[in-house]
């Protein structure tokens, strides 16, 4: 949540939770691709729990910290939590930061609160097309011969060497720290409580699959879905569904810091009339009236790999073309 664009949101969240929001302006792609944003988020977290000398705040205990965000910020917050868990799994339990060994423990984080999360940079799952009529996000192009998105040419795009994705190298597009949807359920064992809100948007499927995997890994998940709502609806206070989702998110943050989030086997979908229908967390992402396939782990992995493969192939072609053009230019300069 950028400190300028999201100030009304962070202010409201601070007011409703009685806490403080540390909003991070992280580096952006394509100028600064992966892992720039993740490193910025990591440094921001370290600065909270172990402030450098001369800082204006006292250390904040990890147990009082919620990672939160919407859209790509939600994906980044999720990646940060996964990064901490991965470091711990590798046996790394401290980081040298400003001359101090700072303990890191993913299980000490109070929680993760994400709305309309972008957890799959490759945009592989069916809802990116199925929910076009409800969403403000344009669907991905089916033209696999051109990089996406098609920005006007300028000093930073197309990149040199050519890159198909703005955020990362194509070979990295389904790396779990780029697209947390690609993380296996075992990667989430022991993770902090998680709140997920989503509408009928392009990112619906990835949010559901993510919540299901957390539940299957034994995690505590609050799934809060809203029928017919577009991307980032929870940031729209003029809408009843948006207000409700935001209030639910704030309540989760308070309960997570208190350590009082109650585990449940059910999530919910709220319709336009405010009526709530419960759904088993284990059935999220599975076949229903709108979704015609079961998005089990095998199918999700196949869809992710399909999207990675065409990007890798196209990126290789683009770089070969650039290499051939460079050789041709050098030959002309040498008079050959």
pLDDT tens digits along 111-120: 999 999 999 9
Higher pLDDT residue, 306 or 290? 306
CB-count burial class (<10 Å; 0-12, 13-18, 19+) for 297: middle
On whether residue 331 sits in a domain, the answer given is: no
Beta bridge partners of 225: 198, 269
Residue 154 domain flag: yes
**Residues with catalytic roles:** 71
Residue 1 domain flag: no
Question: Is the preceding peptide bond at 130 cis, omega within 30 degrees of 0?
Answer: no
Is 53 part of a structural domain of the chain?
Answer: yes
92 confidence band (pLDDT: 50, 70, 90): very high
Q: Which domain holds residue 198?
A: 7-326
The answer to whether 197 touches 224, Cβ cutoff 8 Å, is yes
Please check whether residue 45 lies inside any domain of the structure.
Answer: yes
- Segment 4-27 shows an average pLDDT of 92
Report the number of distinct structural domains present in the chain: 1
Tens of pLDDT, residues 124-135 = 999 999 999 888
Give the SS3 label for residue 66: strand
**Is 36 part of any domain?**
yes
Q: Would the pLDDT of 19 be above 60?
A: yes
State mean pLDDT over 260-271: 96
Hey, is 47 helix, strand or coil?
helix
Q: For 265-281, what is the mean pLDDT? A: 96
Tell me the pLDDT of the chain averaged across its residues: 91
CATH number, domain containing residue 103? 3.40.50.1820
**pLDDT higher than 60, residue 334:** no
Ordered DSSP codes for 217-283: TT--EEEEEETT--TTGGG-TTSHHHHHHHHHHHHHHHHHHHT-PPP-SEEEEE-TTS-EEEEEGGG
Does the model's pTM come out above 0.85? yes
pLDDT by residue (tens digit) across 196-218?
999 999 999 999 999 999 999 99
Q: Which two structure tokens, joined as six digits, stand for 151?
A: 């920005």
Residues 149-163: what's their mean pLDDT? 76
Give mean pLDDT, residues 35-63: 96
User: So what's the pLDDT on residue 233?
Assistant: 92
Q: pLDDT digits over 205-255, tens only?
A: 999 999 999 999 999 999 999 999 999 999 999 999 999 999 999 999 999
- Look at residue 332 and tell me if it is in a domain: no
- Note whether residue 241 is domain-resident: yes
């Amino acid at each position: 949540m950028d400190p300028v664009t999201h100030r009304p949101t962070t202010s409201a969240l601070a007011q409703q939770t009685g806490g403080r929001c540390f909003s991070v302006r992280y580096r952006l792609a394509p100028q600064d691709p992966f892992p720039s944003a993740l490193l910025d988020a990591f440094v921001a977290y370290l600065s909270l729990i172990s402030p450098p000398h001369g800082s204006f705040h006292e250390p904040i205990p990890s147990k009082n910290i919620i990672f939160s965000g919407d859209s790509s910020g939600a994906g980044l917050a999720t990646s940060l939590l996964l990064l901490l868990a991965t470091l711990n799994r590798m046996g790394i339990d401290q980081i040298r930061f400003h001359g101090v060994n700072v303990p890191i423990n993913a299980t000490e984080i109070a929680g993760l609160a994400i709305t309309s999360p972008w957890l799959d940079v490759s945009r592989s799952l069916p809802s990116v097309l199925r929910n076009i009529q409800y969403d403000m996000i344009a669907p991905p192009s089916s033209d696999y011969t051109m990089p996406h998105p098609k920005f006007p040419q300028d000093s930073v795009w197309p990149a040199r060497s050519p890159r198909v994705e703005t955020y990362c190298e194509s070979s990295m597009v389904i790396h779990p720290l780029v697209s947390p949807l690609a993380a296996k359920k075992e990667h989430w064992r022991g993770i902090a409580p998680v709140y997920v809100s989503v509408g009928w948007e392009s990112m619906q499927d990835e949010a559901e699959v993510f919540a299901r995997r957390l539940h299957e890994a034994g995690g505590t998940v609050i799934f809060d879905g809203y029928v017919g709502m577009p991307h980032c609806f929870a940031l729209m206070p003029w809408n009843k569904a948006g207000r409700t989702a935001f209030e639910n998110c704030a309540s989760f943050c308070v309960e997570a810091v208190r350590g009082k989030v109650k585990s449940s086997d059910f999530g919910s979908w709220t319709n336009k009339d405010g009526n709530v229908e419960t759904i088993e967390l284990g059935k999220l992402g599975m076949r229903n009236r709108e979704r015609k396939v079961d998005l089990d782990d095998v199918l999700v992995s196949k869809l992710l790999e399909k999207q990675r493969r065409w990007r890798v192939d196209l990126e290789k072609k683009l770089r070969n073309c650039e290499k051939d053009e460079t050789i041709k230019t050098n030959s002309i300069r040498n008079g050959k």
